[in-house]
A and B are shown apart, each in its own frame.
Chain A
Amino acid sequence: MLVPIMLLLVGLGTVVFHFVSPWWWTPIASNWGYIDDTIILTFWVTGVVFVGVVLFIAWCTYRYRYQKGKKADYEPENAKLEWWLTILTTIGVAAMLAPGLWVWNDFVTVPEDAAEFEVVAKQWEWTYRFPGKDGKLGTTDAKYINDDNPFGINPKDKNGRDDILIDDGEVHLPINQPVKVLLRSIDVLHDFGIVQFRAKMDMVPGTVTSFWFTPTRIGEFDVLCFELCGVGHYAMRGMVVVDSVSDFQAWLDEQPTFAQSLAEAESDSDKSSNRVFSEASSPDREIAR
């Protein structure tokens, strides 16, 4: 008797825990409500199956518990039953997959009007870059990185001169404006994730990754690093502040451009004598094909 009861308790306990637990997702603050919907859908489909299976075993262990001298039923196969189960499961799977793929299609299709900004990660802090007046980000390369140019912006690329650099971990974004986040790391893998936006993506050194979203709620949102990046991983924090458009613009205008920061560095150039990179040691790279 103990076994069926315990199985029942485990099954029901799980359901009860799900519904009464105070721990559930943090309220959303982006356009990715569809993701939440897909999760809910998945919950119902799989939840029903879970409860069904556990209740069925519990019942079996009660109904068919050992009786001396009894013999089990002998029916090695039942093609009809097996087919039905296959078909039903396939339907269940399709019911979750189809909406999922549809939302994924949205997720990877960046809208035309998305503004771009870049997140640059390094062990263990976040920095950000906005395109300047020309609306274009300058190209970058790890070899340009030094104290004066922590972002590694190509000094010869004029698109980069007016890029706006934010070096202190906190970035502002305007509300309701779709943004494409370009993700770049200068050392190891990191992952730019904001729980309320339901979106995250790894940043891979040697390439630039991206995702897009639209912030829909004004407020401050913690940026966490979601990819193990060394001992400081757990402490790699940043902040996204979603502002009204005007607040955002005001904030942006205060930030220095690349040209400004270079000029500043020039003026006290002897401080930057410990340059780690010298132009000669790594020849310019050209594209191969």
Chain B
Amino acid sequence: MAYVAPAEVEQIPPAEVEDVELYHAKSWVTKYVFSQDAKVIAIQYSATAIAIGLVGLVLSWLMRLQLGFPELFDFIEPSDYYQFITVHGMIMVIYLLTALFLGGFGNYLIPLMVGARDMVFPYVNMVSYWVYLGAVILLIVSFFVPGGATGAGWTLYPPQAILSGTPGSEGGIILMLVSLALFIIGFTMGGLNYVVTVLQARTRGMTLMRLPLTIWGIFTATVLALLAFPALLVGAVMMTFDKLLGTSFFMPALVEMGVYLDYGGGSPLLFQHLFWFFGHPEVYIVALPAFGIVSDLISVHARRHIFGYRMMVWAIVGIGALSFVVWAHHMYVSGMNPWFGFFFATTTLIIAVPTALKVYNWTLTLWKGNIRFTLPMLFALAFIVTFVNGGITGLFLGNVVVDVPLSDTMFVVAHFHMVMGVAPLLVVFGGIYHWFPLITGRMLHEGMGQFHFWVTFIGAYTIFLPLHYLGFLGVPRRYFEMGETNFIPESAQDLNAFVTVVALTVGVAQIVFFINLFWSLKNGKLAGHNPWKACSLEWRTAHVPPRHGNFDDLPVVYRWAYDYGVPGADEDFIPQDVPPDRVSTGKGEV
């Protein structure tokens, strides 16, 4: 796979499809606003996702203020608090990470990395973004309708989500559901593009087993999303009907604040199954792209090929497939059929094996490498640490009987922030530091980057590590305030206050990151072609940043994306489109 023998040149097949005809924008508006260029769409997606992510971040501060200093901030009412956690969770998982990884990184990198001129259906791709924007706007609007946004938790469990004891049960929940439905529709349009582009629009010589792992991660995540979102969509539709039409899909006979309601016979557990049939793949939807991207970051900056590439690909595919049969590990104490516990605990722990292999392969890539401590590498290292930490706490929760005392405590909150809130977000940052030179032609400022990295990594770790121990004490999640108990020590509150202070610090430190982004746009060091000396195709365009259509002539691929440190070659890397007979070997041209 690695050092392609000259004989293989012969086997690069001819082009199967004619080169596409590009749509050329006629005006400023069609070029930058209603653009059909995947790269512009990617930037639109990313900017929107990050903007809404900042809203999520601010919400997390408000939550932390309340948790750290429960008496102090009387402008935060319990109902506000529940709205904050709900919208915070929803924004972070779906509107920020899913959109950023797939819509943002996916749109930018897929065509470039597979050697295509654009996505296969640029028009649909464009519509995808605008629908997504609509979903985001609806989400924001929901804060301003009477009753405010929904406070049902991001899991939106009925009956509670649509009954009056929950904030936002008047209008907020409906807007939330509609916004989700819109997100799914928009995502489906984009997602079909990503999948078909990877499957059907690769350049000559680009076999699936030569794809950079970034693409494998994004591709698999997109497939998961296309198959998992239907469950959420259906659940959302049915809940909307329960609320608006008075149907009883999820509503058994019940009493709302003493009033017997006209519902009967429905199954609240059904919604939970639907939600988690979506929800578990969803967490891998945000994890797999991170896995992929981090593999590339590690390989490039350790100047070493990724270790066990085939294993990495199969692990991604395997994790993706398995993620559809583990969903009810979120429901161990939901009152579902008890024997499910055996099934789901087993599948859940099995999924740890491919994940563990990925972790090993990352570390084995570092091993015997030539590691440069660039910013992307720092973030990648931090990812490994936080991900392993969060992953192993997943093993606690996955082992059904251990989950019983820990479920719905701060331990769960700590688990998923470490594994989802911190780890993939570090990869997002790493990815931005890595590809910013490609997108803008300039490097980000190193000093500001270092500061941002250390504060974010150490800070985020410090925020969430102690929360596990609150979970062991038995502090429940989604508590506006802990109040009096006879078993939780006073010191738990001090810990909470400490965590809040750290969280605010980390949050404020993000300002440095944004300053860096804008400052470097104008003043960053010029990057030139391929500043990191990477092998994959996105750095092999004629222009940096790549223009509409990406490549002048479509590249032909002769090798995998990880030919770093090939013995015999002069350089320590050989880009994918360098034919074997062009590799300079010191002994002269072959």
Q: How far is the CB of A207 from chain B (nearest CB, A)?
A: 7
B401 / chain A contacts, CB cutoff of 8 Å: 34-35, 38, 100-101, 103-104, 107
- Distance in angstroms between the alpha carbons of A123 and B258 in the assembled complex: 9
Cβ-neighbour of A73 out of B254, B304, B308, B489 (below 8 A): B304
Q: Are A23 and B495 in contact (CB under 8 A)?
A: yes
Interface residues of B (CB under 8 A from A): 1-2, 78-79, 82, 151-153, 155, 157, 159-160, 163, 165-167, 251-260, 264-269, 302-305, 307-311, 333-335, 338-339, 341-342, 345-346, 349-350, 352-353, 356-357, 359-360, 363-364, 366-373, 378, 381, 384-385, 388-389, 392-393, 395-396, 399-402, 404-405, 407-409, 454, 458, 461, 465-466, 469-470, 472-474, 476, 478-483, 485-489, 491-492, 495, 562, 564-567, 572
A46 touches B385 (CB 8 A): no
Which residue in chain B gives the minimum CB-CB distance to A186?
Answer: B255
In whole angstroms, how far apart are the Cα atoms of A16 and B399 in the complex? 25
| Chain A hits for B367, CB < 8 A | 56, 60, 64
**Known contacts A25-B473, A71-B370, A100-B402; 11 further A-B pairs (Cβ under 8 A):** A22-B491, A60-B366, A76-B308, A82-B357, A97-B345, A104-B400, A187-B159, A202-B334, A207-B269, A222-B487, A233-B82
Residue of A nearest to B260 (CB): A277
Chain A residue nearest in CB terms to B342: A101
Interface contacts (Cβ under 8 Å), in number, total 340
Does A261 sit within 8 A of B, measured CB to CB?
no
- Complex Cα distance, B578 from A245, in Å, reads 83
| Chain B residue contacts of A42, Cβ below 8 A | 395-396, 399, 402
29 contacts between A and B (CB under 8 A): A3-B381, A6-B458, A22-B491, A26-B488, A42-B399, A50-B389, A61-B373, A64-B302, A66-B303, A74-B304, A82-B311, A85-B356, A97-B349, A104-B342, A104-B345, A104-B401, A122-B255, A187-B165, A189-B159, A193-B408, A193-B476, A200-B408, A204-B269, A205-B159, A206-B252, A231-B167, A232-B165, A233-B478, A285-B264
Q: Which residues of A contact B470 (CB under 8 A)?
A: 23
> In the complex, what's the smallest C-beta–C-beta distance from B247 to chain A, in angstroms?
15
* A residues less than 8 Å from B487 (CB atoms): 26, 195-196, 221-222
Whole-angstrom CA separation of A208 from B49 in the bound complex: 42
How many residues of chain A have a CB within 8 Å of chain B? Answer: 108
Interface centre among A104, A199, A276, A282 (most CB of B within 10 A): A104
* Known contacts A67-B370, A76-B1, A191-B408; A142/B254 CB under 8 A: yes
Which of A2, A22, A85, A224 touches B489 (beta carbons < 8 Å)?
A: A22
B488 surroundings in chain A (CB, below 8 A): 26
A203-B335, A204-B334, A231-B166 known; A220-B486 Cβ under 8 A: yes
Contacts of A56 in B (CB 8 A): 363, 367
The answer for the CA separation of A229 and B165 in the assembled complex, in Å, is: 8
Q: Are B465 and A86 in contact (CB under 8 A)?
A: no
* Interface class of chain A by DSSP: mixed
Partner of A230, one of B160, B338, B369, B492: B160
Partner of B404, one of A11, A65, A199, A235: A199
A22-B489, A77-B309 known; A35 and B402 CB under 8 Å? yes
Inter-chain contacts of B368 with A (CB < 8 A): 64, 72-73, 75
Which chain A residues in 16-59 approach chain B with CB under 8 Å? 17, 21-26, 32, 34-35, 38-39, 42, 46-47, 49-50, 53-54, 56-57
Q: Is A265 positioned at the interface, with any CB of B under 8 Å from its CB? A: no
B571 (CB) vs chain A CBs: closest residue: A71
- Any B CB within 8 A of the CB of A237: yes
Instruction: Please name all residues of chain B whose beta carbon is closer than 8 Å to the beta carbon of A289 when the two chains form the complex.
Output: none
A53 to B481, CA, bound (A): 37
Are B302 and A39 within 8 A (Cβ)? Answer: no
| Residue contact A206 to B267, C-beta cutoff 8 Å | yes
- Chain B residues near A272 (CB, 8 Å)? none
- Tell me, rounded to whole Å, the shortest Cβ–Cβ distance linking A262 to chain B: 18
Cα-based distance from A58 to B366 in the complex (angstroms)? 10
Whether a CB of chain B sits under 8 angstroms from the CB of A141 is yes
B395 engages A46 (CB within 8 Å): yes
A46: shortest Cβ distance to chain B, in Å? Answer: 4
> Which 8 A-B pairs rank lowest in CB-CB distance, beginning with the nearest?
A206-B252, A230-B165, A195-B474, A209-B335, A72-B304, A46-B392, A72-B565, A73-B368
A199 to B346, CA, bound (A): 21
Asked whether A230 lies within 8 Å of B381 as measured between CB atoms, the reply is no
Residues of A within 8 A of B160 (CB): 188-189, 228-230
A26 to B396, CA, bound (A): 18
A136 at the interface (CB under 8 A from B): no
A163 to B570, CA, bound (A): 87
In Å, the complex CA distance between A63 and B408 comes to 42
Roughly how many angstroms separate A193 CA and B378 CA in the complex, as a whole number? 42
B567 adjacent to A74 (CB under 8 Å):
yes
The answer for the CA separation of A189 and B271 in the assembled complex, in Å, is 12
Taking a contact as CB atoms under 8 Å apart, the answer to whether A89 and B352 are in contact is: yes
Contact of B381 (CB < 8 Å), options: A35, A57, A70, A277:
A57
A22 to B493, CA, bound (A): 13
Cα(A11)–Cα(B466), bound, Å: 14
Q: How far is the CA of A180 from the CA of B163 in the complex (A)?
A: 30
Does chain B have a CB within 8 A of A267? Answer: no
Residues of A within 8 A of B481 (CB): 234
Min C-beta distance of A78 to chain B, whole Å: 7
Q: Is residue A12 contacting chain B, with contact meaning CB distance below 8 A?
A: no
* Complex Cα spacing A71 to B385, Å: 26
Q: Is A93 touching B350 in the complex (CB atoms < 8 A)?
A: yes
Instruction: Decide: A123 near B257, CB < 8 A? Known: A22-B491, A64-B366.
Output: yes
- Closest-by-CB residue of A relative to B306 is A76
Name B2's contact: one of A74, A189, A195, A198 (CB within 8 Å): A74
Q: Are B333 and A61 in contact (CB under 8 A)?
A: no
**Pair B465/A188 contact, Cβ less than 8 Å:** no
Given A10-B461, A86-B357: A187 in contact with B255 (beta carbons within 8 A):
yes
Contact B345 A101, beta carbon cutoff 8 Å = yes
| Bound CA–CA A76/B312 (angstroms) | 11
The answer, yes or no, to whether A115 is at the interface (CB within 8 Å) is: no
The answer to whether A72 touches B572 (Cβ under 8 A) is yes
Choose among B253, B311, B384, B476 the residue that contacts A141 (Cβ–Cβ < 8 A): B253
Report the Cα distance A196→B483, complex, angstroms: 18
A36–B258 Cα distance when bound, in Å, is 40
- Residue pair B349, A96 in contact (C-beta under 8 Å): yes
Contacts known (A123-B165, A222-B487); A64 close to B474, Cβ less than 8 A = no
User: Which of chain A's residues have a CB closer than 8 A to the CB of B82?
Assistant: 228, 231, 233
A259 within 8 Å of B (CB atoms): no
Assembled-state Cα–Cα distance A14/B338 (Å): 35
Minimum Cβ distance to chain A for residue B555 (Å): 22
List residues of chain B with CB within 8 A of the CB of A285.
264
A280 close to B (CB within 8 Å): no
* Cross-chain contact A204 with B395 (CB below 8 angstroms): no
When the two chains form the complex, which single residue of B310, B353, B366, B485 contacts A89, counting CB atoms closer than 8 Å? B353
Q: How far is the CA of A105 from the CA of B342 in the complex (A)?
A: 8
| Contacting pair B408 A206 (CB below 8 A) | no
Residue ID in chain B nearest A107 by CB atoms: B401
A148 in the interface, Cβ–Cβ < 8 Å? no
Q: Of A10, A75, A77, A282, which is within 8 A of B458 by CB? A: A10
